[in-house]
Structure formats: C-alpha cells, structure tokens
Amino acid sequence: DGGITQSPKYLFRKEGQNVTLSCEQNLNHDAMYWYRQDPGQGLRLIYYSQIVNDFQKGDIAEGYSVSREKKESFPLTVTSAQKNPTAFYLCASSILGQAYSNQPQHFGDGTRLSIL
C-alpha cells in the first residue's frame, strides 16, 4: 500500500543538538510538506517542496532546514537555533499539476520531539 512513513515516532533532543526527522513517501507525489502541531494551534507550515532540489520556506521556517534530493524523501532537521522544538511534527505530500489543482494532502503519522 502507498503511503507516507515518518521515523522515528518519538525523538529526544539534548540542548544544542541538531536532530533529523525522516519522511519517505511512495505515492509518487510531487509536493511534500512539513508541519508543526502544537496543542490548540492547528498545523503550521515549516517548509514545502514542489520539485526535487527546490524548497520554499513556510510560516515558521526559522530554526529548521530541509533537503529534497530525491522525489520520495524530504528530511527535516531541527537545529539548535530552534529554541522551542518540543512539538508534534507532521510530513505530508500531494499531487501537483494543472489537472490536479487544489488536491488534498496526505499525512504521515508524525514524530513527537521532546527536549531532554
């Protein structure tokens, strides 16, 4: 079955440490997204990518970095510059193209990041 796989499910970070969250999709979707979810605040967009080797900042990109070297992979690095990284991180993907405008996004099951 096609889908989005996020790993690990739980991750702990020490102060001053960078951590990388994995996101892999086998849906053959062009676009991929990273969201941060905090209680009572819905989903906020961190970064998105519509094509390999290209990505755009979302609303809360500071303290995060991404890469898109392969169509199926979109890892997120939470850097030490992100002072409040404790949150639930969600990866999503969607199909693009004129014939598929405004299509829904498909989500992984998330990674919960906590500070030690």
Partner 1 sequence: GDSVVQTEGQVLPSEGDSLIVNCSYETTQYPSLFWYVQYPGEGPQLHLKAMKANDKGRNKGFEAMYRKETTSFHLEKDSVQESDSAVYFCALSGSNDMRFGAGTRLTVKP
Q: Which residues bind partner 1 (CB under 8 A)?
A: 4, 6, 33, 40-43, 45, 48, 58, 90, 92, 101-110
Give least dist CB 69 to partner 1, A: 22
The CB-side HSE value for 39 (13 A sphere, CA atoms) comes to 1
Cβ-based nearer residue to partner 1, 53 or 102: 102
For 28: left if phi > 0, alpha if psi spans -120 to 50, otherwise beta; the answer is left
Give least dist CB 3 to partner 1, A: 10
Per DSSP, the three-state class of 98 is helix
Give least dist CB 42 to partner 1, A: 4
